[in-house]
Amino acid sequence: MIKKTMAALSMGLLMQLGVSCHKPIPANLSSVSLIPAPVELNSSGSSLLLDEGTTVYVQNDDLKGLGTLLSEQMASLTGLEFNVELSKNAPSKGIYLAIDAEVNVAEEAYALTINEKVLVLKAANPAGIFRGIQTIDQTIVKHEGETTAWIIPTGSIVDYPQYEYRGVMLDVSRHFFGVEDVKRVIDLAANYKINVLHLHLTDDQGWRIEIKSWPKLTSVGAQTQVGGGEGGFYTQEQFKEIVAYAKERFVTVVPEIDMPGHTNAAVVAYPELNGTKKKAELYTGTKVGFSTLATRKEVTYQFVDDVIRELSAITEGPYIHIGGDESHVTKEDDYVYFINRTKAIVKKYNKTMVGWDEMAHAAIDAADVVQYWAKDKNAVMGVEKGAKVLLSPSKRMYLDMKYDSTTHIGLDWAALIEVDQAYNWDPEKLVEGIDKEDILGLESPLWTETVETMDDIEYLVFPRLIGHAELGWSLPEKRDWESYKKRLAVHGKRLKNKGVDFYQSKLIPWEIE
């Protein structure tokens, strides 16, 4: 027993000596492949060693969850364990997370300083701390020399986003995806500073959210999906679980109820809502534009009110998306009438209305958001009426589009979108008449007509979403295809380690092993 104790003490002493005698390993922070590219980065040429003795300190209890998150992310990458402890002041060594009101350049801004002893991450709010954690995760380097070591290059980073809304959309109506799949999408997107998840919850093929005052929406309308199959839906408790999970990662959930078109599942459940003369039946195809709500019947607005009321109660974010696209069998006057009445209902429940760009034909104003996907003139019309624009140009940002003609899933009606096509454009110059101040942000939609599994999601989303994330976060002068493709190549190994089934574009010199 005494021999074992002495051996343990000797080992501990050797470890202490090893740390104290550690000669800092030269490293260049500027050569780390950060995505999105930060606003300002300075390298000081040395490194901070990470080992079993490295502790993550947090300024207060409110940051303890974020400290634990950083510890877990670093452990997943390095295999080391990192304790999390409280400390009101910055320690002499280790990693320190702190709130500092002076770091207030913009929402989600953070400042990172690293020397040979301590890494300090400061932000004006927890959201900034979370974004900074994603940067720390990317700065960790495995040094291969006489000995293998995990290090973080020294220097400083000051960073903040160009657009406040940086989103990804998942269509769970054409094919349904469960809670755990949605959580994985949140995690993978948040790694690249995406801060919004838009869930397309309803369409002709299925209604995916429980509305207690209209129970047949799910008991009847959720029964199927594209190609058949049992479909599915989220209970309100499950939806709240998704919202809470996203909130912990500083991601806002935007629920979409597509109206007045794309409503076949709803009118099958409740025929009194049907605005066509044809009897509606459950639909498993992929055509669009054949359904509409009865826009001149009062029962329709009781329905809309109940749906928005229940959805608003379980949605913490400020936005409710009302769809509004491809309502081809709705007469224009009826369409405008419907959007105007629906706008009032959304406002009644203290939410901001978002809709696809066709919505600009209605009486929208500065309180609304127009999501540009197809027609320049609609987006410009929205801006002229005072609305903000959310950019989702189908030729650049639709993640369901094939990469090339050989891609085994996806569509091609808008374009073939290779990785360079997804990245090489400027949001501020996309549409004449829409300037930066008119743009709320960017969102990458994934429609799921051909998407059936989590692997399918990952293959179409990655790596294109990573490029979109940089477009939404980084300064224009920091965005360059030649630089980006080299940085993205390094992220191939990161994606592989996370088990992501990403598209290995031949345009990228991937570092997989």
> Would you please indicate which residues are annotated as catalytic (active-site) residues?
326
Instruction: Note the Cα 268 to chain centre separation in Å.
Output: 32
Structural tokens at position 193: 């500073």
Distance CA(475)–CA(220), nearest Å, equals: 48
- 255 within 8 A of 333, measured Cβ to Cβ: no
Amino acid letter, 319: Y
Q: Enumerate long-range contacts of 19-22, CB under 8 Å, 24 or more apart.
A: 19/49, 19/51, 19/53, 22/49
Give residue 324's region: left, alpha or beta (phi > 0; psi -120 to 50).
left
Amino acid letter, 384: E
Element (H, E) at 244: helix 236-248
For residue 492, count other CB atoms closer than 10 A to its CB.
Answer: 21
- 458 within 8 A of 502, measured Cβ to Cβ: yes
Partners of 166 in beta bridges: 442
Structural tokens at position 220: 């009847």
- 160 within 8 A of 137, measured Cβ to Cβ: no
Amino acid letter, 109: A
Q: Is 111 helix (H, G, I), strand (E, B) or coil?
A: strand
| Sequential DSSP letters for 380-447 | HHHHHTT-EEEE--HHHH-TTB-SSTT-SS-B-SS----HHHHHS--GGGSSTT--GGGEEEEEEEE-
In the numeric block, the tokens 């003139």 are attached to 377
Helix 179-190 to helix 236-248 angle, to the nearest 10 degrees? 20
Closest by CA to 139, choosing from 262, 30, 232, is: 30
Give residue 76's region: left, alpha or beta (phi > 0; psi -120 to 50).
alpha
For 167-183, b/e burial (b = at least 16 CB within 10 A) is bbbbbbbbbbbeeeebe
